[in-house]
Amino acid sequence: MRIIDVRACQPACASPPDWRTSLGQILVAVDTDAGLTGYGVGGGGLSAIHIIRTVLRDLLMGRDPEPIDVLWRDMYRATLPFGRKGVAIMALSGVDLALWDLRGKAERRSVVERLGGVRHREIPTYGTAWDIIPDDMVGRHAGYKLHLGQVNDAELVEATARARARVGMTRLLMVDAWMRWDVPRTLRYAEAVEALQLHWIEEPLPPDDINGYAELVRSCPIPIAGGEHEFTAAAFRELIQWQLHHIVQPDVCWCGGMTQLVEIYRVAAEHNVRVCPHRGAEVWSLPALAALDPQPLAESGRPWMTWVGGQPPIRDGWIEAPDGPGFGVTIDEAKLDVLY
Ligand SMILES: [Mg+2]
Active site residue 271: no
The residue ranking higher by pLDDT, 304 or 61, is 61
Please name the amino acid found at residue 101: D
Q: 225-238 as b/e, with b when 16 or more CB fall inside 10 Å?
A: bbbbbbbbbebbbe
Distance 68 CA to ligand 1 centre (A): 29
pLDDT tens profile 158-211: 999 999 999 999 999 999 999 999 999 999 999 999 999 999 999 999 999 999
Q: Supply the pTM of this predicted model.
A: 0.97
- Render pLDDT for 77-117 as a digit per residue (tens, 0 to 9): 999 999 999 999 999 999 999 999 999 999 999 999 999 99
Hey, what domains does the chain have and what are their CATH numbers?
3-109+331-335 (3.30.390.10), 114-319 (3.20.20.120)
Which amino acid, one-letter code, is at 135?
D
Closest-CA residue to 197 (of 165, 153, 152): 165
Selection from 76, 80, 61, 19 nearest residue 44 by Cα = 19
- How far is the centre of ligand 1, averaged over its atoms, from the C-alpha of 187 (Å)? 19
Q: Which residues surround ligand 1, an ion (CB under 5 A)?
A: 176, 202
CA of 39 to the centre of ligand 1 (A): 25
CA of 165 from ligand 1 middle (Å) equals 22
Task: Collapse the DSSP code of 30 into the 3-class scheme (helix H, G, I; strand E, B; otherwise coil) and give the result.
Answer: strand
Q: What is the pLDDT of residues 272-315, one digit of tens each?
A: 999 999 999 999 999 999 999 999 999 997 777 889 999 999 99
Confidence of residue 252 (pLDDT cuts 50, 70, 90): very high
Give me ligand 1 centre to Cα 70, in Å.
Answer: 31
**pLDDT per position as a tens digit, 1-47:** 999 999 999 999 888 888 888 889 999 999 999 999 999 999 999 99
Question: Bridge partners of 309?
Answer: 330
- CA 228–ligand 1 middle distance (angstroms): 6
Q: How far is the CA of 66 from the centre of ligand 1 (A)?
A: 33
Residue type at 315?
Answer: R
User: What is the rounded average pLDDT for all residues in the chain?
Assistant: 96
> For residue 284, what pLDDT is reported?
97
Q: Of the residues 120, 141, 246, 278, which is catalytic? A: 278
Write out the H or E segment, with its range, that includes residue 3: strand 3-9
Angle (nearest 5°) at CA 301 between 297 and 303: 155
